Chains A and B, each alone.
Chain A
Amino acid sequence: MVLFFENRELVTPGDLLAKGDYLAGENVFRINDEIYATRIGLVEYSNKKVSVVALKSFYVPSVNDIVIGKVVEVGTRGWMVEINSPFLALLRASDAFTKPFNPKNDELTSILDVGDVIIAKIIAYDRTRDPLLTIREHGLGKVKSGQIVVITPTKIPRVIGRKGSMISMIKNETGCNITIGQNGVILVRGKNPVMEGIVVRAIKMIEKEAHTTGLTDRVTDMIRREKMELKRNGKI
Protein backbone atom coordinates (compact mmCIF):
# COMPACT_ATOMS: atom_id res chain seq x y z
CA MET A 1 0.00 0.00 0.00
CA VAL A 2 1.47 3.28 -1.13
CA LEU A 3 0.41 6.93 -0.86
CA PHE A 4 1.92 9.23 -3.47
CA PHE A 5 1.33 12.64 -1.89
CA GLU A 6 1.45 14.31 1.50
CA ASN A 7 -1.92 14.83 3.17
CA ARG A 8 -3.52 18.14 1.98
CA GLU A 9 -1.12 18.43 -0.97
CA LEU A 10 -2.42 20.11 -4.14
CA VAL A 11 -3.22 17.61 -6.90
CA THR A 12 -4.51 17.86 -10.48
CA PRO A 13 -6.79 15.54 -12.50
CA GLY A 14 -5.10 12.25 -13.40
CA ASP A 15 -2.64 12.27 -10.50
CA LEU A 16 -2.15 8.81 -8.99
CA LEU A 17 -3.00 9.29 -5.31
CA ALA A 18 -2.78 5.82 -3.79
CA LYS A 19 -2.21 2.18 -4.64
CA GLY A 20 -3.46 -0.70 -2.55
CA ASP A 21 -6.40 -1.45 -0.32
CA TYR A 22 -8.05 2.00 -0.14
CA LEU A 23 -11.58 3.34 -0.48
CA ALA A 24 -12.41 5.89 -3.16
CA GLY A 25 -13.98 9.06 -1.68
CA GLU A 26 -15.05 12.25 -3.46
CA ASN A 27 -13.46 13.57 -6.66
CA VAL A 28 -11.38 10.47 -7.30
CA PHE A 29 -11.78 7.34 -9.42
CA ARG A 30 -10.39 3.86 -9.20
CA ILE A 31 -8.74 1.57 -11.75
CA ASN A 32 -8.04 -1.83 -10.17
CA ASP A 33 -6.18 -0.98 -6.95
CA GLU A 34 -5.10 2.51 -8.02
CA ILE A 35 -6.90 5.71 -7.05
CA TYR A 36 -6.64 8.85 -9.23
CA ALA A 37 -7.80 12.46 -8.81
CA THR A 38 -10.58 13.79 -11.07
CA ARG A 39 -10.45 17.44 -9.99
CA ILE A 40 -7.92 20.00 -8.90
CA GLY A 41 -7.89 20.16 -5.13
CA LEU A 42 -6.31 19.06 -1.88
CA VAL A 43 -5.84 15.32 -1.40
CA GLU A 44 -7.11 13.90 1.89
CA TYR A 45 -6.03 10.56 3.25
CA SER A 46 -8.16 9.60 6.22
CA ASN A 47 -7.99 6.03 7.52
CA LYS A 48 -8.48 3.97 4.39
CA LYS A 49 -10.33 6.60 2.42
CA VAL A 50 -8.76 8.76 -0.31
CA SER A 51 -10.56 11.85 -1.53
CA VAL A 52 -9.91 15.28 -3.01
CA VAL A 53 -11.37 18.50 -1.59
CA ALA A 54 -12.11 20.22 -4.91
CA LEU A 55 -11.00 23.82 -5.36
CA LYS A 56 -13.09 24.14 -8.51
CA SER A 57 -16.47 22.47 -8.66
CA PHE A 58 -20.14 23.17 -9.20
CA TYR A 59 -23.38 22.32 -7.47
CA VAL A 60 -25.09 19.00 -8.20
CA PRO A 61 -28.61 18.89 -6.77
CA SER A 62 -29.35 16.61 -3.86
CA VAL A 63 -32.74 15.88 -2.27
CA ASN A 64 -33.51 17.93 0.88
CA ASP A 65 -30.95 20.62 0.06
CA ILE A 66 -32.07 24.21 0.64
CA VAL A 67 -31.17 26.29 -2.41
CA ILE A 68 -31.56 29.90 -3.49
CA GLY A 69 -32.49 30.41 -7.12
CA LYS A 70 -33.90 32.86 -9.59
CA VAL A 71 -36.97 32.43 -11.75
CA VAL A 72 -35.96 32.57 -15.41
CA GLU A 73 -39.07 31.29 -17.16
CA VAL A 74 -42.80 31.22 -16.44
CA GLY A 75 -44.45 28.29 -18.20
CA THR A 76 -48.05 27.12 -18.26
CA ARG A 77 -47.63 24.63 -15.42
CA GLY A 78 -44.95 26.21 -13.30
CA TRP A 79 -41.67 28.10 -13.12
CA MET A 80 -38.16 27.23 -14.29
CA VAL A 81 -35.59 28.25 -11.72
CA GLU A 82 -31.83 28.69 -12.11
CA ILE A 83 -30.10 27.10 -9.11
CA ASN A 84 -26.40 27.52 -10.04
CA SER A 85 -26.20 23.92 -11.26
CA PRO A 86 -26.04 22.16 -14.63
CA PHE A 87 -29.81 21.75 -14.53
CA LEU A 88 -32.73 24.17 -14.35
CA ALA A 89 -35.10 23.26 -11.54
CA LEU A 90 -38.90 23.09 -11.82
CA LEU A 91 -41.31 24.57 -9.31
CA ARG A 92 -44.78 23.26 -10.10
CA ALA A 93 -47.68 25.69 -10.06
CA SER A 94 -49.61 23.32 -7.79
CA ASP A 95 -46.86 23.73 -5.19
CA ALA A 96 -47.31 27.47 -4.92
CA PHE A 97 -51.08 27.79 -4.92
CA THR A 98 -52.89 27.03 -1.70
CA LYS A 99 -56.12 26.12 -3.53
CA PRO A 100 -56.12 23.62 -6.45
CA PHE A 101 -54.33 25.16 -9.40
CA ASN A 102 -56.47 26.02 -12.43
CA PRO A 103 -54.38 27.02 -15.46
CA LYS A 104 -57.36 28.92 -16.93
CA ASN A 105 -57.94 31.33 -14.07
CA ASP A 106 -54.79 31.39 -11.99
CA GLU A 107 -52.11 33.80 -13.15
CA LEU A 108 -48.70 32.33 -12.35
CA THR A 109 -46.98 35.71 -12.51
CA SER A 110 -49.18 36.95 -9.66
CA ILE A 111 -47.15 34.64 -7.40
CA LEU A 112 -43.71 34.55 -9.00
CA ASP A 113 -42.34 36.39 -12.01
CA VAL A 114 -39.18 36.27 -14.06
CA GLY A 115 -36.30 37.75 -12.06
CA ASP A 116 -37.77 36.85 -8.67
CA VAL A 117 -35.48 35.19 -6.14
CA ILE A 118 -36.76 32.24 -4.12
CA ILE A 119 -35.58 30.07 -1.26
CA ALA A 120 -36.62 26.50 -2.01
CA LYS A 121 -36.01 22.90 -1.08
CA ILE A 122 -35.16 20.12 -3.55
CA ILE A 123 -37.74 17.33 -3.23
CA ALA A 124 -36.80 15.11 -6.18
CA TYR A 125 -33.77 14.63 -8.38
CA ASP A 126 -32.34 11.56 -10.09
CA ARG A 127 -30.30 12.79 -13.10
CA THR A 128 -32.97 11.66 -15.58
CA ARG A 129 -35.35 14.52 -14.84
CA ASP A 130 -35.00 18.16 -13.86
CA PRO A 131 -34.74 18.73 -10.12
CA LEU A 132 -38.09 19.47 -8.51
CA LEU A 133 -38.52 22.24 -5.92
CA THR A 134 -40.95 23.08 -3.17
CA ILE A 135 -41.57 26.38 -1.38
CA ARG A 136 -44.24 24.94 0.94
CA GLU A 137 -42.30 25.02 4.17
CA HIS A 138 -41.54 27.59 6.78
CA GLY A 139 -38.81 29.99 5.66
CA LEU A 140 -39.14 29.11 1.97
CA GLY A 141 -40.69 31.20 -0.80
CA LYS A 142 -40.17 34.48 -2.57
CA VAL A 143 -37.45 36.77 -1.25
CA LYS A 144 -38.67 40.36 -0.93
CA SER A 145 -35.50 42.15 0.12
CA GLY A 146 -31.80 41.68 0.56
CA GLN A 147 -28.76 41.06 -1.60
CA ILE A 148 -27.46 37.82 -3.04
CA VAL A 149 -23.87 36.73 -3.45
CA VAL A 150 -22.72 33.66 -5.38
CA ILE A 151 -19.67 31.63 -4.36
CA THR A 152 -18.09 28.29 -5.34
CA PRO A 153 -20.25 25.74 -3.44
CA THR A 154 -17.15 23.96 -2.10
CA LYS A 155 -16.29 27.11 -0.10
CA ILE A 156 -19.56 27.09 1.89
CA PRO A 157 -18.08 25.23 4.90
CA ARG A 158 -15.56 28.07 5.23
CA VAL A 159 -18.31 30.70 5.24
CA ILE A 160 -20.03 28.77 8.02
CA GLY A 161 -16.78 28.22 9.90
CA ARG A 162 -15.91 25.69 12.57
CA LYS A 163 -19.08 25.08 14.60
CA GLY A 164 -20.62 28.07 12.85
CA SER A 165 -18.00 30.48 14.22
CA MET A 166 -17.55 32.55 11.06
CA ILE A 167 -21.19 33.05 10.26
CA SER A 168 -22.22 33.91 13.82
CA MET A 169 -19.38 36.44 14.02
CA ILE A 170 -20.65 38.14 10.84
CA LYS A 171 -24.23 38.13 12.12
CA ASN A 172 -23.17 39.62 15.46
CA GLU A 173 -21.01 42.32 13.92
CA THR A 174 -23.53 43.45 11.30
CA GLY A 175 -26.96 42.48 12.59
CA CYS A 176 -27.70 41.00 9.15
CA ASN A 177 -29.59 37.79 8.61
CA ILE A 178 -27.71 35.33 6.37
CA THR A 179 -29.32 32.41 4.53
CA ILE A 180 -26.92 29.96 2.90
CA GLY A 181 -28.12 27.93 -0.07
CA GLN A 182 -26.29 24.63 -0.52
CA ASN A 183 -25.92 25.67 -4.17
CA GLY A 184 -23.46 28.43 -3.31
CA VAL A 185 -26.00 31.27 -3.42
CA ILE A 186 -26.15 33.28 -0.20
CA LEU A 187 -28.86 35.74 0.76
CA VAL A 188 -28.02 38.67 3.03
CA ARG A 189 -30.85 40.59 4.65
CA GLY A 190 -30.31 43.54 6.95
CA LYS A 191 -31.96 46.75 8.06
CA ASN A 192 -29.66 48.76 5.88
CA PRO A 193 -28.37 48.05 2.34
CA VAL A 194 -25.01 49.56 3.29
CA MET A 195 -24.60 46.97 6.05
CA GLU A 196 -25.65 44.23 3.62
CA GLY A 197 -22.89 45.47 1.32
CA ILE A 198 -20.30 44.89 4.04
CA VAL A 199 -21.49 41.31 4.50
CA VAL A 200 -21.35 40.69 0.73
CA ARG A 201 -17.74 41.91 0.67
CA ALA A 202 -16.89 39.80 3.71
CA ILE A 203 -18.27 36.65 2.03
CA LYS A 204 -16.33 37.37 -1.13
CA MET A 205 -13.20 37.79 0.95
CA ILE A 206 -13.80 34.40 2.60
CA GLU A 207 -14.25 32.77 -0.79
CA LYS A 208 -11.00 34.24 -2.09
CA GLU A 209 -8.94 33.42 0.99
CA ALA A 210 -10.74 30.20 1.94
CA HIS A 211 -7.54 28.22 2.38
CA THR A 212 -5.64 30.64 4.56
CA THR A 213 -5.27 30.62 8.33
CA GLY A 214 -6.40 33.38 10.70
CA LEU A 215 -9.21 34.21 8.32
CA THR A 216 -11.89 34.81 10.98
CA ASP A 217 -9.73 37.51 12.59
CA ARG A 218 -9.02 39.22 9.28
CA VAL A 219 -12.70 39.19 8.30
CA THR A 220 -13.63 40.62 11.72
CA ASP A 221 -11.07 43.41 11.24
CA MET A 222 -12.36 44.18 7.78
CA ILE A 223 -15.99 44.42 8.97
CA ARG A 224 -15.05 46.65 11.93
CA ARG A 225 -12.95 48.92 9.72
CA GLU A 226 -15.81 49.34 7.25
CA LYS A 227 -18.27 50.03 10.06
CA MET A 228 -16.02 52.75 11.51
CA GLU A 229 -15.73 54.32 8.08
CA LEU A 230 -19.53 54.36 7.70
CA LYS A 231 -20.02 55.89 11.17
CA ARG A 232 -17.55 58.63 10.35
CA ASN A 233 -19.51 59.42 7.17
CA GLY A 234 -22.81 59.34 9.03
CA LYS A 235 -24.15 56.44 6.95
CA ILE A 236 -25.09 54.36 10.03
Chain B
Amino acid sequence: MLNSIPVLLSPILAELEVGKHLYWELGGMKLHGQVFITTWLVMGALIVVSLFATRKVERIPSGIQNLMEYALEFIRDLAKNQIGEKEYRPWVPYIGTLFLFIFVSNWGGALVPWKLIHLPAGELAAPTNDINTTVALALLTSLAYFYAGFRKRGIGYFAKYIEPTPVMLPINILEDFTKPLSLSFRLFGNILADELVVAVLVLLVPLFVPLPVMLLGLFTSAIQALVFATLSAAYIAEAMEGHGAEEHG
Protein backbone atom coordinates (compact mmCIF):
# COMPACT_ATOMS: atom_id res chain seq x y z
CA MET B 1 0.00 0.00 0.00
CA LEU B 2 2.20 2.89 1.16
CA ASN B 3 5.55 1.35 0.62
CA SER B 4 7.23 4.71 0.55
CA ILE B 5 6.18 8.17 1.52
CA PRO B 6 7.85 10.63 -0.79
CA VAL B 7 9.23 13.61 1.00
CA LEU B 8 8.26 16.81 -0.72
CA LEU B 9 10.37 19.24 1.25
CA SER B 10 13.72 17.59 1.40
CA PRO B 11 14.41 15.22 -1.45
CA ILE B 12 18.06 14.94 -0.42
CA LEU B 13 17.18 13.16 2.79
CA ALA B 14 15.62 10.47 0.64
CA GLU B 15 12.26 9.10 1.53
CA LEU B 16 10.78 7.11 4.28
CA GLU B 17 11.28 3.62 3.04
CA VAL B 18 9.65 0.67 4.68
CA GLY B 19 9.69 -2.82 3.31
CA LYS B 20 11.96 -2.23 0.36
CA HIS B 21 14.85 -4.58 -0.03
CA LEU B 22 17.92 -5.00 -2.12
CA TYR B 23 17.41 -8.49 -3.50
CA TRP B 24 20.20 -10.91 -4.10
CA GLU B 25 19.70 -14.24 -5.75
CA LEU B 26 21.39 -17.31 -4.34
CA GLY B 27 20.54 -20.64 -5.88
CA GLY B 28 17.08 -19.49 -6.80
CA MET B 29 16.41 -18.08 -3.32
CA LYS B 30 15.99 -14.44 -2.52
CA LEU B 31 18.15 -12.70 0.01
CA HIS B 32 17.96 -9.25 1.56
CA GLY B 33 21.27 -7.81 0.48
CA GLN B 34 21.25 -4.70 2.66
CA VAL B 35 20.81 -6.82 5.78
CA PHE B 36 23.77 -8.97 4.88
CA ILE B 37 25.99 -6.00 4.11
CA THR B 38 25.39 -4.36 7.48
CA THR B 39 25.54 -7.70 9.28
CA TRP B 40 28.95 -8.40 7.84
CA LEU B 41 30.10 -4.91 8.75
CA VAL B 42 28.90 -5.35 12.33
CA MET B 43 30.42 -8.80 12.67
CA GLY B 44 33.65 -7.66 11.06
CA ALA B 45 33.88 -4.69 13.41
CA LEU B 46 33.31 -6.92 16.44
CA ILE B 47 35.88 -9.47 15.32
CA VAL B 48 38.46 -6.78 14.56
CA VAL B 49 37.93 -5.14 17.94
CA SER B 50 38.20 -8.53 19.66
CA LEU B 51 41.42 -9.32 17.80
CA PHE B 52 42.86 -5.97 18.83
CA ALA B 53 41.78 -6.50 22.41
CA THR B 54 43.34 -9.96 22.65
CA ARG B 55 46.44 -9.27 20.57
CA LYS B 56 48.57 -8.77 23.63
CA VAL B 57 46.73 -9.79 26.77
CA GLU B 58 48.18 -8.17 29.84
CA ARG B 59 47.54 -8.64 33.47
CA ILE B 60 46.89 -4.95 33.95
CA PRO B 61 44.51 -4.16 31.10
CA SER B 62 44.54 -0.89 29.26
CA GLY B 63 42.77 0.70 26.35
CA ILE B 64 40.73 -1.60 24.18
CA GLN B 65 41.47 -4.68 26.25
CA ASN B 66 40.00 -2.91 29.25
CA LEU B 67 36.84 -2.05 27.31
CA MET B 68 36.34 -5.59 26.05
CA GLU B 69 37.05 -7.02 29.49
CA TYR B 70 34.39 -4.74 30.87
CA ALA B 71 31.99 -6.03 28.22
CA LEU B 72 32.89 -9.63 29.02
CA GLU B 73 32.41 -9.11 32.72
CA PHE B 74 29.06 -7.47 32.06
CA ILE B 75 27.98 -10.45 29.94
CA ARG B 76 29.22 -12.90 32.54
CA ASP B 77 27.29 -11.12 35.26
CA LEU B 78 24.19 -11.17 33.10
CA ALA B 79 24.48 -14.90 32.43
CA LYS B 80 25.38 -15.63 36.03
CA ASN B 81 22.40 -13.72 37.36
CA GLN B 82 19.97 -15.61 35.15
CA ILE B 83 21.43 -19.09 34.85
CA GLY B 84 23.30 -19.37 38.13
CA GLU B 85 26.88 -19.74 39.21
CA LYS B 86 27.14 -23.45 38.38
CA GLU B 87 25.84 -23.65 34.84
CA TYR B 88 26.43 -20.28 33.26
CA ARG B 89 29.85 -20.75 31.71
CA PRO B 90 29.00 -22.74 28.55
CA TRP B 91 26.27 -20.23 27.74
CA VAL B 92 28.40 -17.11 27.97
CA PRO B 93 29.45 -17.18 24.29
CA TYR B 94 25.89 -17.53 23.01
CA ILE B 95 24.31 -14.92 25.28
CA GLY B 96 27.27 -12.61 24.93
CA THR B 97 27.22 -12.83 21.16
CA LEU B 98 23.49 -12.11 21.17
CA PHE B 99 24.03 -9.04 23.30
CA LEU B 100 27.07 -7.74 21.44
CA PHE B 101 25.60 -8.36 18.00
CA ILE B 102 22.25 -6.75 18.75
CA PHE B 103 23.82 -3.87 20.64
CA VAL B 104 26.38 -3.06 17.96
CA SER B 105 23.76 -3.51 15.24
CA ASN B 106 21.31 -1.17 16.93
CA TRP B 107 23.87 1.50 17.67
CA GLY B 108 25.50 1.10 14.29
CA GLY B 109 22.13 1.55 12.63
CA ALA B 110 21.45 4.66 14.67
CA LEU B 111 24.90 6.27 14.66
CA VAL B 112 26.36 5.52 11.24
CA PRO B 113 24.93 7.73 8.50
CA TRP B 114 23.99 4.86 6.23
CA LYS B 115 21.78 7.07 4.09
CA LEU B 116 24.84 8.60 2.48
CA ILE B 117 25.45 5.27 0.75
CA HIS B 118 22.98 4.74 -2.03
CA LEU B 119 21.82 1.30 -2.96
CA PRO B 120 19.88 0.37 -6.09
CA ALA B 121 16.94 -0.53 -3.87
CA GLY B 122 16.19 -0.35 -0.19
CA GLU B 123 18.58 1.31 2.20
CA LEU B 124 21.23 0.29 4.67
CA ALA B 125 20.07 0.19 8.28
CA ALA B 126 20.53 -1.85 11.40
CA PRO B 127 20.33 -5.60 10.65
CA THR B 128 17.84 -5.88 13.51
CA ASN B 129 15.58 -3.65 11.44
CA ASP B 130 14.70 -6.68 9.34
CA ILE B 131 12.21 -9.24 10.61
CA ASN B 132 14.34 -12.07 9.20
CA THR B 133 17.23 -11.23 11.50
CA THR B 134 15.17 -10.98 14.65
CA VAL B 135 13.21 -14.14 13.92
CA ALA B 136 16.45 -15.97 13.18
CA LEU B 137 17.88 -14.88 16.53
CA ALA B 138 14.67 -15.74 18.37
CA LEU B 139 14.49 -19.20 16.77
CA LEU B 140 18.11 -19.78 17.71
CA THR B 141 17.17 -18.92 21.29
CA SER B 142 14.32 -21.45 21.09
CA LEU B 143 16.73 -24.10 19.84
CA ALA B 144 19.19 -23.13 22.54
CA TYR B 145 16.73 -23.61 25.36
CA PHE B 146 15.42 -26.87 23.94
CA TYR B 147 19.00 -28.08 23.68
CA ALA B 148 19.77 -26.91 27.22
CA GLY B 149 16.68 -28.65 28.58
CA PHE B 150 17.37 -31.92 26.78
CA ARG B 151 21.01 -32.00 27.70
CA LYS B 152 20.27 -31.28 31.34
CA ARG B 153 17.16 -33.33 31.92
CA GLY B 154 17.02 -35.75 29.02
CA ILE B 155 13.57 -36.93 28.01
CA GLY B 156 12.29 -35.73 31.37
CA TYR B 157 12.31 -32.28 29.87
CA PHE B 158 8.83 -32.99 28.51
CA ALA B 159 7.59 -33.32 32.05
CA LYS B 160 7.56 -29.56 32.28
CA TYR B 161 4.69 -29.46 29.81
CA ILE B 162 2.33 -31.11 32.27
CA GLU B 163 3.45 -29.09 35.25
CA PRO B 164 1.82 -28.12 37.48
CA THR B 165 -1.20 -29.97 36.02
CA PRO B 166 -1.81 -31.69 32.67
CA VAL B 167 -4.55 -29.11 32.08
CA MET B 168 -1.78 -26.62 31.39
CA LEU B 169 -0.48 -28.64 28.45
CA PRO B 170 -1.88 -26.45 25.65
CA ILE B 171 -0.74 -23.29 27.37
CA ASN B 172 2.73 -24.70 27.92
CA ILE B 173 2.99 -25.74 24.29
CA LEU B 174 1.69 -22.36 23.21
CA GLU B 175 4.39 -20.74 25.28
CA ASP B 176 7.06 -22.29 23.09
CA PHE B 177 5.58 -20.38 20.19
CA THR B 178 4.93 -17.11 21.97
CA LYS B 179 8.46 -16.91 23.34
CA PRO B 180 10.25 -16.53 20.00
CA LEU B 181 7.35 -14.51 18.64
CA SER B 182 7.49 -11.95 21.41
CA LEU B 183 11.28 -11.91 21.40
CA SER B 184 11.55 -11.24 17.70
CA PHE B 185 8.68 -8.79 17.48
CA ARG B 186 9.86 -6.83 20.47
CA LEU B 187 13.28 -6.26 18.99
CA PHE B 188 12.04 -5.71 15.46
CA GLY B 189 9.26 -3.36 16.55
CA ASN B 190 11.48 -1.32 18.83
CA ILE B 191 14.20 -0.77 16.27
CA LEU B 192 11.83 -0.16 13.40
CA ALA B 193 9.67 2.17 15.49
CA ASP B 194 12.73 4.10 16.57
CA GLU B 195 13.94 4.55 13.02
CA LEU B 196 10.47 5.48 11.83
CA VAL B 197 9.99 8.07 14.55
CA VAL B 198 13.36 9.62 13.78
CA ALA B 199 12.62 9.56 10.07
CA VAL B 200 9.24 11.19 10.53
CA LEU B 201 10.70 13.88 12.79
CA VAL B 202 13.53 14.54 10.35
CA LEU B 203 10.91 14.80 7.64
CA LEU B 204 8.96 17.38 9.64
CA VAL B 205 11.82 19.38 11.22
CA PRO B 206 15.22 18.48 9.81
CA LEU B 207 17.22 20.41 12.43
CA PHE B 208 17.93 19.73 16.13
CA VAL B 209 14.39 18.66 17.04
CA PRO B 210 15.00 14.96 16.28
CA LEU B 211 18.10 14.92 18.49
CA PRO B 212 16.38 14.07 21.81
CA VAL B 213 14.39 11.34 20.07
CA MET B 214 17.60 9.99 18.60
CA LEU B 215 19.16 9.90 22.08
CA LEU B 216 16.09 8.12 23.41
CA GLY B 217 16.43 5.71 20.50
CA LEU B 218 20.04 4.98 21.45
CA PHE B 219 18.91 4.32 24.99
CA THR B 220 16.02 2.03 24.05
CA SER B 221 18.08 0.11 21.53
CA ALA B 222 20.74 -0.56 24.15
CA ILE B 223 18.02 -1.68 26.56
CA GLN B 224 16.51 -3.92 23.89
CA ALA B 225 19.84 -5.65 23.37
CA LEU B 226 20.02 -6.19 27.12
CA VAL B 227 16.42 -7.44 27.22
CA PHE B 228 16.96 -9.90 24.39
CA ALA B 229 20.08 -11.34 25.99
CA THR B 230 18.52 -11.40 29.48
CA LEU B 231 15.38 -13.12 28.26
CA SER B 232 17.35 -15.69 26.30
CA ALA B 233 19.38 -16.46 29.39
CA ALA B 234 16.20 -16.64 31.48
CA TYR B 235 14.55 -19.07 29.04
CA ILE B 236 17.66 -21.26 29.01
CA ALA B 237 17.78 -21.22 32.80
CA GLU B 238 14.08 -22.05 32.98
CA ALA B 239 14.51 -25.01 30.64
CA MET B 240 17.39 -26.31 32.73
CA GLU B 241 15.89 -25.95 36.14
CA GLY B 242 12.36 -26.94 35.30
CA HIS B 243 9.41 -25.28 36.95
CA GLY B 244 9.50 -22.29 39.21
CA ALA B 245 11.27 -19.91 36.86
CA GLU B 246 9.77 -16.53 36.33
CA GLU B 247 8.10 -15.63 33.09
CA HIS B 248 8.35 -12.53 31.00
CA GLY B 249 6.11 -11.10 28.31
Q: Do A and B bind each other?
A: no
Chain B residues proximal to chain A, CB less than 8 Å: none
Chain A residues proximal to chain B, CB less than 8 Å: none
